[in-house]
Structure 1
Amino acid sequence: MTSQKIRQQFLDFFKNKQHKIVASAPLVLKNDPTLMFNNAGMVQFKEYFLGQKAIKDKRIADTQKCLRVSGKHNDLEEVGIDTYHHTLFEMLGNWSFGDYFKEEAIAWAWELLTEVYKIDKNNLYVTVFEGDKEDNLDFDQEAYDFWKKHISEDRIINGNKKDNFWEMGAQGPCGPCSEIHVDLRSEEEKIKIPGKDLINKDHPQVVEIWNLVFMQYNRKANGSLEDLSAKHIDTGMGFERLCMALQGVTSNYDTDVFTPLIREVETITNSSYGKNNETDVAIRVIVDHVRAVAFSIADGQLPSNTGAGYVIRRILRRAIRYGFTFLNQKEAFIYKLTKTLVKQMGDVFPELKNQETLVETVIKEEENSFLRTLDQGLLLLDIIIENAENKHISGSKAFELYDTYGFPFDLTQLIAKEKGYTVNEQGFTDEMKKQKDRSKAASAVETSDWTILIEDDEEEFIGYDTLSANVKLTRYRKVTTKKDGEMYQLVFNMTPFYPEGGGQVGDKGHIEMSNGDIIYILDTKKENNLIVHYTKNLPKNTSEVLNVVVNEEQRKLSASNHTATHLLHQALRKVLGDHVEQKGSLVKPKSLRFDFSHFSKVEPEQLQEIEDFVNARIRENLPLIEKRNIPIQEALNEGAMALFGEKYGDSVRAIRFGKSIELCGGTHVSHTGEIWHFKIISESASAAGIRRIEAITNTAVGYYFENIDKDYQAIKQTLKNSKNPVKAIEQLQQENNNLKKQIEQLLKDKASNLKNELKHKVEEINGINFISAEINLDANSIKDLAFQLGGEIDNLFFIAGSNNGGKAILTIYISKNITNDKLHAGTIVRELGKLIQGGGGGQPFFATAGGKNPNGIKEALTKAKEFIV
């Protein structure tokens, strides 16, 4: 049975059980501060469990792409080592929101596994929650009794809180669960050890494939449990493990989910899977990680140095490092797997097919970048090894190499071991812990439980039509962070405040109370389905009617910039081509930033054309045509653009200005003329295959031109009020070029004279012609001089020192025919560089060092002789 058929049979089964089949949510999460990535099937339904969104469909099923690499669910270091852990995986799931509960969930799971998938009942075991004294929870007798109807009691195993009580996090909905395990061992092995003795013991062929969570409690901030108002079902079945069980293999990587990728790696790297453990681990790491990285990029998360982007970069670099070390791949190759992956999964997840070129380009660029980092790291590691005492590398040095240059610790260990050195692993671990503790302390958030004043399923946003309103506070809580200190988060029954989203920053404003007091709203964000207002204070009377007012000027400027991004998107597609897609944006009152897919620099004349196009639409004073709560298919049929990485509901809001139509929840001007003017400030690369335009509109353009005029007047004054400043500057540039040429000629003459002087200072030592001198020339002139001397004097060892503006420079040239391990310019200059309080390096025949102590030059020149006597 193919993986495609296995997936489809699951969805068809639950469709026949009256479940609505929904699409997978993006991997990259928005409006959820507790998670970077979608790490479980239930994440897109959190609002239902939390009671923050009205339930439309009581039964749902899907396949959700998940990523687990950080936090509580961290499988990264295990991936590739064993045969069943993954970073990216599919979670097949079915949900009930206040509808069916334990009996149906258990019965249907058993029916699907044994009657549809035909798994032998004798290979299955189930677990039930044994209870927990600390939480005052009893044994889950109800689940046990339902299981007894389907499976013999000796195959029902009690599970502890760790394995059989599922929690969303430190707070929130939770409940007991039942796991279903499958024993894939041979009959001979089953006779030796019963399968029930290997449940949850990390045996590679006795694995959990499905977890049925019975969501019936809410964990409060103080750790106590309370009953939920409605009971829910949340199940998750590991697709890759299910395929392993149904395809008669004993490794996830032997299923057709992975074998096409493995075959491609074998072809590209000229390696063989299944013959050598190190090679096998490397190939498993690569085929797993390329899936995680490709899906993340397709969903809008590019590799970067912070947050979720850093996690993706780390995953990809782990794959590159395994290819580099164990498959001898010194050039980019992982990007070539993209086509195979798209062919496999592009139909199920069309975003992968739509973003194929971007995925391939970004991975290739990241590979090339990290391979350069590895080359640099190898050079630095050589220096560390040379200076290591007693053939031991300190943990702090290894951590510096990892933290500053991204050089993997295990690679440091491997190379050190090959050279007969040891590395202080505990020291490295301690340094890593210190960094994590610093990071954790900086981002630590203490959050209290919500104080519920009014039960309200869904907060109404009224900010498209008004900037003020009389509202009631429905809930609040206190949060404390190291950065902001103590703050309050307030939720109202309705609000005109736009929450951060769609690239647009959240509104600011204030709350007016009946006694005349004012509380300032410092920011507005969306958390799951709640619009949360951040304040430093809490209203004294939390039950009174409050008047909330949005800062009108900031909203107006944000609206100008947001509308400008729509016009800019339209202009880019017209000028550069239909391949352009929005890949991110930032809309603030003062400026806008727009990232888009394009694979070359946008030329100045193209930028001007883009700017002119947007300003033409502004002058046309196009009206806003807005359609709210329309079916998404209707909007798409009218030509609306849906943005990548966004999860749209059944009903959407469409924004039209002339021929620009986009699905958008942001705020906009009523007519484009309100933007006043659009000005591009910069165009640059944001990431591989991604360009970035930064621009301004409205009052910011006025300030921009005012500042330009001030600079222009200052330039005219500097040029003594020249009538033609441009011509005057061109004349100055010409004069400057002429003077530069004269200086260059003088330096050449000086170097030529100096060369003749130095040739008379040659000192022969052990058959080597040695020259040392302190020279008053710049670094490039000294380099030219060194190579000229090398071309005229055989067996030359030349060292020069110079004081260049208070900085010391050492230059060493050694004739190539006499270089060896001892006579190595790079090694010697590093040693002598210590005397000028600096460092350097280079090739065996030419190297330089810089330092901050010119007084050490003379000693360095004298000490140089010691390397040849």
Structure 2
Amino acid sequence: MKSQQIRQTFLDFYKSKQHEVVASAPMVIKNDPTLMFVNAGMNPFKEYFLGISESKHSRIADSQKCLRVSGKHNDLEEVGVDTYHHTMFEMLGNWSFGDYFKKEAIAWAWELLTEVYKIDKDCLYVTIFEGDASENLERDTEAYDYWKEFIAEDRILNGNKKDNFWEMGDQGPCGPCSEIHVDIRTAEEKAAVDGASLVNADHPQVVEIWNLVFMQFNRMADGSLKNLPAQHVDTGMGFERLAMVMQGVRSNYDTDVFTPLIREIETITGHAYGKTEQEDIAIRVIADHVRAVSFSIADGQLPSNNGAGYVIRRILRRAIRYGFTYLNKKEPFIYMLVNTLAKQMGDAFPELKSQKNLILNVIKEEEQSFLRALDQGLVLLDSMITAAKSNSQNIIDGNKAFELYDTYGFPIDLTALILREKGMELDEAGFEKAMAAQKQRSRAASETTTTDWTELRSDDTQEFIGYDKLEADVRISRYRKVTTKKDGDLYQLVFNMTPFYGESGGQTGDKGYLESTSGDTVYIIDTKKENGQTVHLTKNLPKDLEGSHKAAVDVNQRHRTSSNHTATHLLHQALRKVLGDHVEQKGSMVRSASLRFDFSHFAKVTPEQLQEVENFVNARIREQLPLEENRTNTYDAAVEDGAMALFGEKYGDVVRTIKFGNSYELCGGTHVPNTADVWHFKIMSEGAVAAGIRRIEAISSDAVKDFFAEQSRHFDEIKTILKSNTKNPAEAIAQLQDENVALKKEIEQLLKAKAGNLKGNLIASAQDINGVNFIATQTDLDAKSVKELAFEIEREMDNLFLIIGASDGEKATLTVMISKNLVEEKDLNAGSIVRELGKHIQGGGGGQAHFATAGGKNPSGIAAALDAAKEMI
């Protein structure tokens, strides 16, 4: 079977078992503080397992995009080294939310593998949870008994808690699991070593293919286990590993999931796969990583220096480094693979086709940037090596190597490789110590402790009423305490209903207060969305937790935020009108004070175009367009009707559409009732964020009023400074600029005259020392004049060694000029000399062999530097 058929067969099989087949959720996670990326197929359904909300379908099947590079599930360093771990992978899964359990999950898994895919039963082993006395957990005999119906008992193996008890994290739903392993070794290999002994032993041909997780428990904050209200099934089968089995190969990279990419890498680099192990690893790393990066960018996550963006940048840089080191690729090339990937997987994941140009350009720019950093790092490493050798040292300090890694992104294994090639060593212990210290600082800064939820009204399903009301009488359903180093103790409250909008879709959360009938008031400082529920953050708990409270949203902040959100919709429409239909929203931040809008466009937006965009938005505001809202549309119907959906967003079956005139989008945010309420729109800045991504920052409503008032004040201040009540201030400023230019020219002429006079005096003061015409002086000329003076003297005098010290306040400079014949005959080097002399002025410098400069912060050391220069001669 081809990989596309393998995927479709899985989905069709579970559709025949009354499962709803759904599309993969975006790989980049929003509204979950515990995860950046989907790292398991169950992540998009977390709220169902937690009991926060109910799924519309009790049975679901999908192929979910996953990424594992950090945290508990971290496969990054194994990727490429072995043949079956990946960063980005597809997880084929079937789910039961309180419906079927172990019996059906096991029976259907066996049926699909052996009767539909026709995998040889004698190749399969299964594991069950052996129990754990420390947790009072018994052996999963129920799963064992079901498996006995299909497979020989000697192929049902016990597994420990690490392998056969699946947990989402430190807290949350968990339960025993039953893994299915496949042995694809040859008959001779199987005869030599029993396959059962190789299960869970990291053997490349005896691998786990499917994990059937039986969600029964909830892990509490204190580590204890409680039974979930309902039992669920969560299965995940590795698509790439299944393809390996179905296509009769011994490596995931030999399947048609990867071979098109590998062939393209071979063509681009001229290195053949299968020749040397190190080159094979490099090719596997690149083939894997380009998938992870491409899918992440398609889902809206660009490489950056923090958070999820840093993870993506790290993956891409690992691929670049392998190409640089082992395939000798010193120029960008990974971006060229995007066309192959889009062609290969674009039918199953259309976002790869629609976002292809963006993905390609972002990767290319990242490659160019990191290759420049590698070049810079090589120069710095070379200087470290030179310095070490000059001190008769054969080892590079670990702290310096860490600085190279931390500041410039220079890979430590590349540092070690270069050092070995030059017969030197790396202080690995020092590097690891510096790395550990940084990780500890990072952990300490982000450390969070969370208590379990205290349930007050567990039967309530939260309702959001904030589109229609900004006040409501509510009851607290649950609460917990969260402690962070940054914010200290905070409390999270969940209400049975809420008018507060939780941060999502780029819009910040509401603020406000909670008032009890007794008059006790607690301020809500922020509102978040977490796993499908709205969470209200407070610094204190209400005294009355059981009673009714008035929940009130800050009306002014909500209005300003809603105004900015409406403005982003009008801005999106304007950009597509002015720049073209290729423009797509790539991110936004809607606050009460301002808005930020990222969009795809491959050129700088001209001032004329920005003005046109601004005019377009303000024209829509003046048209007083009313809000047309639909909260009951289906996703397919809304999109078919022309509503714009954003890539990387997760939409439900029922969606909300927002329409202002011809602006028509899917959106869950809050908006003003009429565009007139936006009052006015003003663009504050426009610039690049990444290759093909531009950013506009703008303001509306009250912020524009404040801006215009401030500009008016500045205008009055300028008129006062110019002492011009009637003259146009612009004309007065232009006149001042003309006068300034004229004065600068006069100063330059005076300095030239001063330098001309000084030149004659200096030539006359030259001392013949060992056949060298030595000149030393201190002056207050500027740097440009000193340089011109030095070159003029050099043209008129042979065998010259000239040093000029100059000071400007607390800054000092040294300039050394040496005749080119002395550079060769006496082996003098101005760069080396000025570096040494620079120590006297507490600075450093460098330059060419005949001309160099140094800067420092100790003007009083100039005289000593001049004397030291004379001593050198």
User: Shorter-chain TM-score: what band?
Assistant: over 0.9
Deviations 1:142-169 (A, max 9, x none): 1111111111111111110001100001
Say if 2:750 is the partner of 1:733. Answer: no
Q: Quick one: structure 1 residues 700 and 149, their matched pair in 2 at CA, closer, same or farther if it must change by over 3 Å?
A: same
Say if 2:841 is the partner of 1:836. Answer: yes
Q: Select 2:854's aligned residue among 842, 849, 860.
A: 849
Q: Quick one: structure 1 residues 725 and 283, their matched pair in 2 at CA, closer, same or farther if it must change by over 3 Å?
A: same
**Could you say which residue in structure 2 is the equivalent of 1:743?**
747
Q: Quick one: structure 1 residues 416 and 726, their matched pair in 2 at CA, closer, same or farther if it must change by over 3 Å?
A: same
Aligned equivalents of 1:865 and 1:349: distance in 2? 73
For 1:619, the aligned partner's letter is R
Q: CA deviation at 1:420?
A: 2.6
Q: CA deviation at 1:9?
A: 1.4
Q: Quick one: structure 1 residues 153 and 473, their matched pair in 2 at CA, closer, same or farther if it must change by over 3 Å?
A: same
**Could you say which residue in structure 2 is the equivalent of 1:695?**
698
**Could you say which residue in structure 2 is the equivalent of 1:29?**
29
Deviations 1:651-706 (A, max 9, x none): 10000001101111111111111111111111121222111111111111111111
Q: Select 1:556's aligned residue among 555, 559, 565.
A: 559
Q: Select 1:803's aligned residue among 792, 798, 807.
A: 807
Aligned equivalents of 2:688 and 2:29: distance in 1? 24
Deviations 1:783-806 (A, max 9, x none): 445555666667866554432332
> Are the aligned partners of 2:47 and 2:53 in contact in 1 as well (CA < 8 Å)?
yes
Q: Quick one: structure 1 residues 865 and 258, their matched pair in 2 at CA, closer, same or farther if it must change by over 3 Å?
A: farther
Q: Which deviates more from structure 2 when the two are superposed, residues 723-732 or residues 254-263?
A: 254-263
Residue correspondence of structure 1 range 19-98 to structure 2 within 5 A? 19-98=19-98
Residue correspondence of structure 1 range 660-699 to structure 2 within 5 A? 660-699=663-702
Q: CA deviation at 1:836?
A: 2.8
For 1:437, the aligned partner's letter is Q
For 1:172, the aligned partner's letter is G
Aligned equivalents of 1:13 and 1:815: distance in 2? 85
Q: Quick one: structure 1 residues 579 and 811, their matched pair in 2 at CA, closer, same or farther if it must change by over 3 Å?
A: farther
For 2:433, the aligned partner's letter is D
Residue correspondence of structure 1 range 743-822 to structure 2 within 5 A? 743-752=747-756, 754=758, 773-786=777-790, 799-812=803-816, 818=823
Q: CA deviation at 1:187?
A: 2.2
> Are the aligned partners of 1:524 and 1:531 in contact in 2 as well (CA < 8 Å)?
yes
**Could you say which residue in structure 1 is the equivalent of 2:652?**
649
> Are the aligned partners of 1:458 and 1:530 in contact in 2 as well (CA < 8 Å)?
no
**Could you say which residue in structure 1 is the equivalent of 2:449?**
446
Aligned equivalents of 1:766 and 1:189: distance in 2? 83
Q: Quick one: structure 1 residues 21 and 384, their matched pair in 2 at CA, closer, same or farther if it must change by over 3 Å?
A: same
**Could you say which residue in structure 1 is the equivalent of 2:504?**
501
Say if 2:537 is the partner of 1:537. Answer: no
Unaligned runs of 5+ in 2: none
Aligned equivalents of 1:266 and 1:767: distance in 2? 62
> Are the aligned partners of 1:54 and 1:457 in contact in 2 as well (CA < 8 Å)?
no
Say if 2:153 is the partner of 1:150. Answer: no
Aligned equivalents of 2:650 and 2:298: distance in 1? 13
Q: Quick one: structure 1 residues 790 and 690, their matched pair in 2 at CA, closer, same or farther if it must change by over 3 Å?
A: farther
Q: CA deviation at 1:822?
A: 7.5
Aligned equivalents of 2:804 and 2:73: distance in 1? 58
For 1:231, the aligned partner's letter is Q
**Could you say which residue in structure 1 is the equivalent of 2:519?**
516
Q: Quick one: structure 1 residues 465 and 787, their matched pair in 2 at CA, closer, same or farther if it must change by over 3 Å?
A: same
Aligned equivalents of 2:379 and 2:769: distance in 1? 31
Q: CA deviation at 1:70?
A: 0.8
User: Identity rate of aligned residues, in percent?
Assistant: 69
Q: Select 1:623's aligned residue among 610, 614, 626.
A: 626
Q: CA deviation at 1:411?
A: 1.9
Say if 2:204 is the partner of 1:219. Answer: no
Q: Which deviates more from structure 2 when the two are superposed, residues 115-124 or residues 565-574?
A: 115-124
**Could you say which residue in structure 2 is the equivalent of 1:402?**
405
SS in 2 for 1:315: helix
Q: Which deviates more from structure 2 when the two are superposed, residues 385-394 or residues 409-418?
A: 385-394
SS in 2 for 1:472: strand
Q: Quick one: structure 1 residues 691 and 814, their matched pair in 2 at CA, closer, same or farther if it must change by over 3 Å?
A: farther
Q: CA deviation at 1:186?
A: 2.2
SS in 1 for 2:84: coil
Structural RMSD (CA): 2.3
Q: Quick one: structure 1 residues 747 and 11, their matched pair in 2 at CA, closer, same or farther if it must change by over 3 Å?
A: farther
Q: Select 2:550's aligned residue among 534, 538, 547.
A: 547
Q: Which deviates more from structure 2 when the two are superposed, residues 4-13 or residues 621-630?
A: 4-13
Q: CA deviation at 1:419?
A: 2.6
Aligned equivalents of 1:639 and 1:865: distance in 2? 81
Q: What TM-score do you get using the length of structure 1 for normalisation?
A: 0.96
Deviations 1:304-336 (A, max 9, x none): 111111111111111112222222222222111
Q: What TM-score do you get using the length of structure 2 for normalisation?
A: 0.95
Q: Quick one: structure 1 residues 476 and 737, their matched pair in 2 at CA, closer, same or farther if it must change by over 3 Å?
A: same
Aligned equivalents of 1:820 and 1:476: distance in 2? 83
Deviations 1:702-739 (A, max 9, x none): 11111111111111111112421111111111111122
Deviations 1:341-374 (A, max 9, x none): 1111111111111111111111111111112212
Q: CA deviation at 1:748?
A: 4.1
Q: CA deviation at 1:385?
A: 2.6
Q: Which deviates more from structure 2 when the two are superposed, residues 189-198 or residues 207-216?
A: 189-198
Q: Which deviates more from structure 2 when the two are superposed, residues 405-414 or residues 566-575?
A: 405-414
**Could you say which residue in structure 2 is the equivalent of 1:186?**
186
Q: CA deviation at 1:276?
A: 1.8
**Could you say which residue in structure 2 is the equivalent of 1:608?**
611
Aligned equivalents of 2:741 and 2:760: distance in 1? 29
SS in 1 for 2:588: strand
Residue correspondence of structure 1 range 719-730 to structure 2 within 5 A? 719-723=722-726, 724-730=728-734
Q: Select 1:471's aligned residue among 451, 469, 474.
A: 474
**Could you say which residue in structure 1 is the equivalent of 2:161?**
161
> Are the aligned partners of 1:377 and 1:405 in contact in 2 as well (CA < 8 Å)?
yes
SS in 2 for 1:362: helix
Aligned equivalents of 1:649 and 1:107: distance in 2? 31
Say if 2:490 is the partner of 1:487. Answer: yes
Q: CA deviation at 1:264?
A: 1.5
Aligned equivalents of 1:789 and 1:347: distance in 2? 73
> Are the aligned partners of 2:805 and 2:812 in contact in 1 as well (CA < 8 Å)?
yes
**Could you say which residue in structure 2 is the equivalent of 1:126?**
126
Unaligned runs of 5+ in 1: none
Aligned equivalents of 1:780 and 1:319: distance in 2? 46
Say if 2:460 is the partner of 1:461. Answer: no
SS in 1 for 2:90: strand
* Length, aligned pairs only: 868
For 2:807, the aligned partner's letter is N
> Are the aligned partners of 1:53 and 1:457 in contact in 2 as well (CA < 8 Å)?
no
Deviations 1:767-814 (A, max 9, x none): 877665545333344444555566666786655443233222334556
Q: Quick one: structure 1 residues 399 and 815, their matched pair in 2 at CA, closer, same or farther if it must change by over 3 Å?
A: farther
SS in 2 for 1:41: coil
Aligned equivalents of 1:314 and 1:4: distance in 2? 29
**Could you say which residue in structure 2 is the equivalent of 1:290?**
290
SS in 1 for 2:134: coil
**Could you say which residue in structure 2 is the equivalent of 1:574?**
577
Aligned equivalents of 2:744 and 2:292: distance in 1? 54
Q: Which deviates more from structure 2 when the two are superposed, residues 111-120 or residues 819-828?
A: 819-828
